[in-house]
Amino acid sequence: MRCSSIFAMSILFATSAVAQINESSSLPEIEFSQLSQRDPNPLGEKALAIHPEQWKHAETEHFIYHFVHSYAATPVSVEAEFHYRVIAKELERDQPAGDVKSHIYIFERPEEWQQFQVFGNLEPWSGGIHSAGSLFVQRNPAYKFSNNLLGHEIVHLVLHRFYADGIPCWLNEGFAQFISKDAHASYERARGYISKPHSDAIAPQDLIPLSVLTAATRPFSDRVHIFYDESERLVRFLAATDKPAFLALLDALARHQPFESALPRSYPGKFANTASLEEKFRDYASKDFGTSLQQASNE
Ligand SMILES: [Zn+2]
């Protein structure tokens, strides 16, 4: 199907970009005064005020990094640019006009990270803090490509660049899981590991009604796993059903149109309303299908 071939192409393209980045060794350090852009986010200022003498800086095509040691920042930069390319292809979009770079702050010492955490909300899924287009993370062995946590946060950063006025929480989280899991698996394969993206099936009785899920402004703290898994499955389902319709829906929701009216306009003849989507989605959400977009769309 069309969407799966597009996705496969975007992964291929991004994988070759990673190979190129990997060939250059560590990220070259730049003086703060020489960075091409500043971060207007007050949280960035707060981060750099914690032991200001320790921070080093670097930038790549789409991101600016603030870090203590380049060995922590280099793998983050590779993963950041990799995800940028996958998402731009997946959204079939060019770089937004007048695009600005996203800032990523990498903390190392746990006590400094704890000190910083009082300023922002930790994402329950990844433990990073994403705020107004900037990302704050603690360097962690988990961020060395061993799972999709960093990728998930980077997807949020890139979505924020394309949809600066915000998109609904389920779409933001679902898209972040969907892209980062598939990208992580393909990145592992590019490095010679056997890896398949995994998406968890949800028991039908545990499903959050779509009217509730699509109206949520943050993940439900008592059902965090279900919220993320169901959001991911909903994004996979909508994208696999009709990719151009999914992109139209994304644009409508980014303009803050209600889900109930944007859905039938984006999927004419397929989903007359949320209830008809829910009927079809319930089977898909609870089916353990093994899980890549390719498999989903070939069913
Ligand atoms: Zn998230």
Q: What is the pLDDT of residues 26-55, one digit of tens each?
A: 899 999 999 999 999 999 999 999 999 999
- CA 150 to ligand 1 center in whole angstroms: 10
Q: Measured between alpha carbons, how far is 222 from 265 in angstroms, rounded to an integer? A: 33
124 pLDDT higher than 60: yes
Q: What is the DSSP secondary structure assignment for residue 121, as one 8-state letter?
A: P
Q: What is the pLDDT of residues 98-111, one digit of tens each?
A: 778 999 999 998 89
Residues with CB under 5 A from ligand 1 (ion): 123, 173, 176
* Pairing between β-strand 63-67 and β-strand 102-107 as defined by DSSP bridges: parallel
Q: Measured between alpha carbons, how far is 284 from 281 in angstroms, rounded to an integer? A: 5
Which residue has tokens 């707060």? 46
Q: Residue 181's closest CA among 7, 1, 2, 298?
A: 7
45, two tokens: 């200022």
The enclosing H or E element of 265 equals helix 259-266
- CA 177 to ligand 1 center in whole angstroms: 8
Which residue has tokens 């909508």? 238
Q: Measured between alpha carbons, how far is 40 from 64 in angstroms, rounded to an integer? A: 13
Q: What is the pLDDT of residues 214-273, one digit of tens each?
A: 999 999 989 999 999 999 999 999 999 999 999 999 999 999 999 999 999 999 999 999
Q: Residue 32's closest CA among 11, 47, 21?
A: 47
Q: What is the DSSP secondary structure assignment for residue 220, as one 8-state letter?
A: -
The enclosing H or E element of 160 equals helix 149-162
Q: What is the pLDDT of residues 144-170, one digit of tens each?
A: 546 788 899 999 999 998 998 899 999
Q: Measured between alpha carbons, how far is 88 from 90 in angstroms, rounded to an integer? A: 6
- CA 129 to ligand 1 center in whole angstroms: 9
For 108, the 3-state DSSP assignment is coil
- CA 278 to ligand 1 center in whole angstroms: 23
- CA 8 to ligand 1 center in whole angstroms: 23
Q: What is the pLDDT of residues 60-96, one digit of tens each?
A: 999 999 999 998 999 899 989 999 998 988 888 877 7
Residue 256 has a pLDDT of 96
Q: Measured between alpha carbons, how far is 200 from 207 in angstroms, rounded to an integer? A: 12
Return the CATH number of 2-162, one of 2.30.42.10, 3.40.30.160, 1.20.140.10, 3.20.20.70: 3.40.30.160
pTM of the model: 0.84
Residues 230-263 as b or e (16 or more Cβ within 10 Å = b): bbbbbbbbbbbbbbebbbbbbbbbbeeeebeebb
Residue 299 has a pLDDT of 35
* All structural domains of the chain with their residue ranges: 2-162, 169-298
- CA 124 to ligand 1 center in whole angstroms: 8
9 pLDDT higher than 60: no
* Pairing between β-strand 56-59 and β-strand 134-138 as defined by DSSP bridges: unpaired
Q: Which sign, positive or negative, has the C-alpha torsion 298, 244, 158, 274?
A: negative
Residue 132 has a pLDDT of 87
- Collect all residues with Cβ–Cβ distance below 8 Å to 24 and sequence separation of at least 6: none
Residue 136 has a pLDDT of 96
